[in-house]
Amino acid sequence: MDKKNIKETHYEVLNVKEDANYEEIRASYRSAALSLHPDKLLKTSDTSSSDQAISEKFLKVHKAWEILSDATSRLIYDKELKNSRREDFLASEVAEDLRLQDMTVEDAGESETLEWFYQCRCGDYFSVDSLELQKIGYSLVRDENSISIFILNVDTLPGSVILPCGSCSLKVRLVLSMDNS
Ligand SMILES: [Zn+2]
């Protein structure tokens, strides 16, 4: 994938949301393909100047449909998309690396949800909670005074998470590891 070039995603080409289901994608593809189909263009006059652009668009729509209509290729594409976005994000400013132990943990009493904070230079905070960590594949288990990290899903496991500041553009990288030393 070309990361330098911010190009349209296949979802954008078909004008569907990234969580659109097969039916939605198909409906969108059909209406796009219909309006761009070469047969249809023959009926309209004076299209010569835009013929090229329209047939390129048609190819893009068709390519997008090819990839998104197949569950396996869509999955691979989604992964590529996610990786390239994460790399872009990582490349932007990261103030420092942190571990959970460096952060202040806030225990909301009986609640299962824990939230960690770390103060930014601007006075606001970087924060992450255990639900967010769970979503990306980490589970946290508490005993008396320590918190252990467990991996839920090895396939999707990132070794770190970027946390944006609540107010400014700074970010920190939260490095996650299994050992809770
Ligand atoms: Zn800040």
**What is the Å distance from ligand 1's center to 121 Cα?**
6
pTM: 0.46
Most confident of 54-58, 111-115, 135-139, 150-154: 54-58
**What is the Å distance from ligand 1's center to 94 Cα?**
11
Residue type, 137: G
**What is the Å distance from ligand 1's center to 174 Cα?**
15
Mean pLDDT of the chain: 80
User: Among positive and negative, which fits the CA dihedral 170, 102, 158, 16?
Assistant: negative
Q: What is the pLDDT of residue 15?
A: 94
Q: Does the pLDDT of residue 49 top 60, yes or no?
A: no
Per-residue pLDDT tens over the stretch 91-148: 667 778 888 888 988 776 656 678 899 999 899 999 998 888 888 777 776 666 666 6
DSSP string, 110-175: T-S-EEEEEE-TTS-EEEEEHHHHHHTTEEEEE-SS-EEEEES-GGG--SEEEEEBSSSS-EEEEE
**What is the Å distance from ligand 1's center to 87 Cα?**
21
Q: What is the pLDDT of residue 76?
A: 94
**What is the Å distance from ligand 1's center to 113 Cα?**
24
Under DSSP, the state recorded for 155 is G
**What is the Å distance from ligand 1's center to 172 Cα?**
10
**What is the Å distance from ligand 1's center to 49 Cα?**
50
For residue 151, the cross-strand partners are 138
Q: What is the pLDDT of residue 47?
A: 52
